[in-house]
């Protein structure tokens, strides 16, 4: 009785693993493709918004100026991160695919 249960779990687990690998790989490819399309646009928009926020900060009193400058710097950092992820998305997806295929 126990052997039959173990065999069933093994078959179901193997089937689930095959389905999971395929879905993980397709998900990673979808993320890579969407980053390649949206990433540069999002990064440039964030840079433009950061410039506008920083320019507005120069017109504000000191207590609002610091908040807006911090927001502008955070937007610039976010734009840089999005740009780097966009450039590295192909390599990261390839590495992740190798890891999923090896396990």
Q: Please give the structure tokens belonging to residue 17.
A: 């693993």
Enumerate the domain spans of the chain: 2-102
CA distance linking residue 29 with residue 36, whole number of Å: 11
Q: pLDDT confidence of 49, banded at 50, 70, 90? A: very high
Average pLDDT, the chain: 81
CA 53 to chain centre: 25
Contact, 90 vs 40, CB < 8 A? no
DSSP character string of 56-85: HHHTS-HHHHHHHHHHHHHHHHHHHHHHHH
Instruction: Between 27 and 65, name the one with better pLDDT.
Output: 65
- Give the rounded distance of the alpha carbon of 6 from its chain centre: 38
Contact 60, 68 (CB under 8 A): yes
Token pair listed for 102: 């090896």
With a cut of 60, say whether residue 68 has pLDDT above it. Answer: yes
pTM of the predicted model, to two decimals? 0.63
């Amino acid at each position: 009785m126990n052997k039959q249960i173990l065999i069933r779990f093994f078959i179901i687990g193997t089937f689930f693993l095959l389905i999971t690998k395929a879905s993980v790989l397709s998900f990673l490819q979808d993320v890579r493709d969407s980053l390649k399309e949206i990433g540069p646009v999002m990064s440039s928009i964030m840079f433009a918004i950061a410039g506008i926020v920083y320019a507005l900060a120069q017109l504000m009193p000191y207590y609002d100026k610091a908040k807006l400058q911090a927001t502008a710097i955070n937007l610039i950092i976010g734009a840089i991160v999005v740009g780097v992820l966009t450039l590295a998305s192909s390599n990261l997806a390839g590495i992740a695919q190798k890891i999923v295929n090896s396990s």
